[in-house]
Amino acid sequence: MSQRRDAIKTIDKESNLEGLILRPLSAKLLEPTMPEKAGIIDRERLLDISGRRRIHQISLAKRFGLNNYQNPAGGCLLTDKGFSGRLEDLLRHNPDYDISDLHLLKVGRHFRISDGLRFIVGRDEKENERLMSFARDGNMIFDIPDIPSPIGLARGKISEKDKESLASILVRYSDCNGDGFTVSYRRPTSEEREKVFANPASQSLLDSLRI
């Protein structure tokens, strides 16, 4: 919605940058900016793209040899309540985050177990695979080999009590039919598994930990 003409004018005004914000893809449809008027930027080399279709942008990408880009889509992740909440949690508890932590915010169900521990549970097979791809040294992978269940990725410092809590969350999202099950866990770089028995987590516990 920020690409509407009236919204563009509002952005210029509210940012106190009227006449300075250049929009190269649609510049010829707008009033010349100060950099254009001053000859700093050649207006003739700017474009006049409008509308929701992406034909011109895709053609430009092909022309410049850009092949690895996301599919065109509307909306910014920061406007998504779920994602922004996870990001806020990450910034609060892990200010030294890296790019992997940011990508992980887009996958699965997230739970804040403690100040130093986050647990992510996949929602389908594709997300399980993505979680496995994000696993790194120091993380812990949880699963239930005996029944259909998601993968759980624990990132942070884990106590013995935490392992029981993480296992109970995983059991809750598995095909356990309300029964307790033995959950296995391991480090990403090891095939050596340990096990812990857990009953399904209560809804109140899930609600209190869900990010």
Confidence band, pLDDT 50/70/90 cuts, at residue 165: very high
Q: Write down the pLDDT at residue 149.
A: 92
Confidence band, pLDDT 50/70/90 cuts, at residue 150: very high
Q: How many helices, marked H, and strands, marked E, lie in the chain?
A: 8, 6
> Does position 75 have pLDDT exceeding 70, yes or no?
no
Q: What's the chain's length in residues? A: 211
Q: Which helix (H) or strand (E) holds 195?
A: strand 194-198
Q: Which of 205, 138, 211 is nearest to 169 (CA)?
A: 205
Is 68 in a helix, a strand, or coil? Answer: coil
Average pLDDT over residues 184-202: 94
Q: Which of 123, 115, 182 is nearest to 155 (CA)?
A: 115
Q: Which ranges of the chain does DSSP label H, i.e. alpha helix? A: 5-14, 34-37, 55-63, 81-93, 99-104, 125-134, 160-172, 203-209
Rounded CA-CA distance 45/119 in Å is 49
Average pLDDT over residues 87-104: 93
Q: Which helix (H) or strand (E) holds 153?
A: strand 152-156
Please compute, for residue 197, the number of CA atoms within 13 A of its CA located in the half-sphere on the CB side.
2
Q: Write down the pLDDT at residue 1.
A: 55
User: Both tokens of residue 88?
Assistant: 């806020």
Which position has the token pair 């509002």?
10
Burial-class residue 61 by CB neighbours within 10 Å (0-12, 13-18, 19+).
Answer: middle
